[in-house]
Amino acid sequence: MDTRRFLCFFFLSLCIALALLFTWAHLPYRPPYAADLLDCSTNSAWCSSKNRLQSKPPKPTRRLRDHASDTPHHPLDPLTLPEITTVRSILSSHPLFASSSSHALHSVDLQEPDKSLVLRWHHGDPLFPRKATVVARVDDMSHVLTVDLTTREVTVEETTSHSGYPTMTLEEMSAAILVRSSTQISTARSSSAGLI
């Protein structure tokens, strides 16, 4: 009787798996990466024999975009490259940075306008004056600054002796781990070379 139950369970599992596969293959919407998963030209390791029979021409490479001429079109659009360059030039001429021997900008972000203003804004209306919020470390002090890009005015919002470092992102942690592991490998190689 156990063999019969096993065969029933196996057949039922196989039918469910086939039904799920068939349903997924005929869904009206697929996630954007699904085509890449099923494309043998990008995932040739698991379908190399299919590539020999049904090879597709390579996809055209994507052109890199030049961000030097970007302009904001919405009040909540992030700071563009020209705006960040403007913030940098404004801060470099500010007395706080001109008189310091060491400084670092930890973040440069758009200071978002009030929500009520953004809700009243319509496409085609002029943008509000753009401002940047800057977290900077100058001579062992952390400063939170507001930089008005129109008037080129800098307002110091807060100054503390705290570190001022923002939280690390996942990419920064991964990069730090890779640097540490490669340093350990090179140290181990040099120490083993000295033993020989």
Q: Let me know if 138 is exposed, middle or buried by CB neighbors in 10 A (0-12, 13-18, 19+).
A: buried
Q: Using an 8 Å Cβ cutoff, are 82 and 130 in contact?
A: no
Question: What is the set of domains in the chain, with CATH numbers?
Answer: 77-160 (3.10.450.40)
**Of residues 96 and 164, which shows the higher confidence score?**
96
Question: What pLDDT does residue 21 have?
Answer: 75
Question: What pLDDT does residue 44 have?
Answer: 54
Question: What pLDDT does residue 15 have?
Answer: 86
pLDDT (tens digit per residue) in 43-72 = 555 555 544 555 556 666 677 777 788 889
Query: What's the mean per-residue pLDDT of the chain?
Result: 78
Question: What pLDDT does residue 82 have?
Answer: 92
Structure tokens given for 30: 């697929």
C-alpha torsion 113→117→118→119, nearest 10: 150
pLDDT (tens digit per residue) in 125-171 = 999 999 999 988 888 788 899 999 999 999 988 888 776 566 677 77
Question: What pLDDT does residue 160 have?
Answer: 80
Question: What pLDDT does residue 75 have?
Answer: 93
Task: Write down the pTM of the prediction.
Answer: 0.53
**Which residues 6+ apart lie within 8 Å of 97 measured at CB?**
91, 103, 136, 138
